[in-house]
Every structure is written in structure tokens, then in C-alpha cells.
């Protein structure tokens, strides 16, 4: 390993995954505890939990019935997620979500932001999570995605132009396939320096241990 280069952290996630939002908070807490020189460059990678949803999305109630058997069962499951969210400092507003989106365009936007003049895509990733899980916005709509990009500090007009093309669609699909071929069946999934993987919304201690293992292997 070239010690002149910063460590890397690859995060595989989906913006409609509540555990990914919780995992992001856990990661932030872990990074805060790292010495400055050991803080990784974070790279975001796509994983679609629901790749077969139509581009226009579906009603949230229909989605819950298909996935959990109905809103009552979903409410039981989500209460545990809400509690985990509160523990990570998040207030997840599942009841505000009216429509379940296909996330291909959201992942295209993240990839565009990540390649945009070498800028950090984290503000956009955070804005997308917040828009969906806190504000109940429909992040399957391209105009809404462009607005969110603008709110995150990117040029909204440029984001809209990209979204209105098919730029990145094949790359996102290929990256999703690669993740599954690597054995990733759920998200979030963290890979430290391409060496040590952590599955799930692990706490800061577990993430710090994985980072230390990756450094030791290097």
C-alpha cells in the first residue's frame, strides 16, 4: 500500500434503505474518532433493493403489501428501525412516504456528483436520504432529484440535463450486478481499502476495528 495515499472506503447502499441511512450515521461517528491521517476517502456505489419497480414508482401502500403483507406488519418491522434510527440521531418519518421509487436515477445522480470535478458526493447522498426518510419527497422524479442536487450545492440545471439523458444507466446496472456477483446480498456494505468488508449498519466500534484490520493487512 502506498502510504502517501489516503485510505479508501467503498460504501454499497441504496437511498431507500433505512439501514443504509443509519449505517451512514454510524460511519460518520467512526470517522470522527479516527486520526485525521487515517480518515478514508469515501466512495459510494449503487445497489437497488427494488430494481424491478417501474420508473414512475408505485404507491407506498401497494409496496408494503407486496413486501410485508400489509401496512400493519410493516409498522411492526419499522418500529425496530425507528428505534435504531433514534439511537443514531435520526427521526425516520416512514408515514410521510407516499410513493416507493425506482432508484436508478438517484444512483445516476450520485455517480454524476461523484465524478463532478472531483467533488465529494456525501452532501448529495445525505440530501437524498433526508428527502426520502425525513421529508417524504418522491426521489423517483427527475425534477425533484435536480432540486435536491441544487440544495446539496450542485448545479441543478446541469443535474437536470444529465437526468434527462440516459447517462450512467448502463454503468449503474453493471455496478449493481458486480456487487451481487461479489456476494453482496444486502446493504449497507462497507469495504475498507479493498480488503476488509463489513455487512450491515454496524456500530462505530466495529467499523473502526475493520479499518484497523485493513491497515494491518496493508
Sequence ranges of the domains in the chain:
8-217
pTM over 0.85: yes
Give the C-alpha separation, 147 to 159, whole Å.
9
Give the C-alpha separation, 90 to 129, whole Å.
11
pLDDT of residue 188: 98
Q: What is the CA radius of gyration of the chain?
A: 17
Contact 60, 138 (CB under 8 A): no
pLDDT tens track, the chain, 218 positions:
455 678 999 999 999 999 999 999 999 999 999 999 999 999 999 999 999 999 999 999 999 999 999 888 988 999 999 999 999 999 999 999 999 999 999 999 999 999 986 679 999 999 999 999 999 999 999 999 999 999 999 999 999 999 999 999 999 999 999 999 999 999 999 999 999 999 999 999 999 999 999 999 98
8-217, which class in CATH?
alpha beta
Give the C-alpha separation, 210 to 146, whole Å.
35
Q: Specify the 3-state DSSP secondary structure of 5.
A: coil
Amino acid at each position: 500500500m502506498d502510504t502517501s495515499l489516503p485510505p479508501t472506503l467503498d460504501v454499497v447502499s441504496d437511498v431507500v434503505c433505512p439501514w443504509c441511512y443509519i449505517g451512514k450515521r454510524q460511519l460518520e461517528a467512526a470517522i470522527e474518532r479516527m486520526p485525521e491521517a487515517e480518515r478514508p476517502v469515501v466512495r459510494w456505489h449503487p445497489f437497488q433493493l427494488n430494481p424491478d419497480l417501474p420508473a414512475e414508482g408505485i404507491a407506498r401502500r401497494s409496496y408494503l403489501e407486496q413486501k410485508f403483507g400489509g401496512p400493519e406488519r410493516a409498522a411492526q418491522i419499522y418500529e425496530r428501525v425507528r428505534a435504531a434510527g433514534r439511537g443514531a440521531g435520526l427521526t425516520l418519518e416512514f408515514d410521510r412516504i407516499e410513493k416507493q421509487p425506482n432508484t436508478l436515477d438517484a444512483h445516476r445522480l450520485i455517480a454524476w456528483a461523484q465524478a463532478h470535478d472531483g467533488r465529494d458526493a456525501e452532501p448529495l447522498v445525505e440530501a437524498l436520504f433526508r428527502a426520502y426518510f425525513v421529508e417524504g419527497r418522491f426521489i423517483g422524479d427527475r425534477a425533484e432529484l435536480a432540486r435536491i442536487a441544487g440544495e446539496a450545492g450542485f448545479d441543478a440545471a446541469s443535474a437536470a440535463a444529465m437526468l434527462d439523458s440516459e447517462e450512467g444507466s448502463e454503468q449503474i446496472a453493471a455496478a449493481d450486478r458486480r456487487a451481487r456477483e461479489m456476494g453482496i446480498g444486502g446493504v449497507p456494505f462497507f469495504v475498507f481499502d479493498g480488503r476488509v468488508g463489513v455487512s450491515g449498519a454496524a456500530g462505530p466500534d466495529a467499523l473502526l476495528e475493520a479499518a484497523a484490520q485493513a491497515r494491518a493487512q496493508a
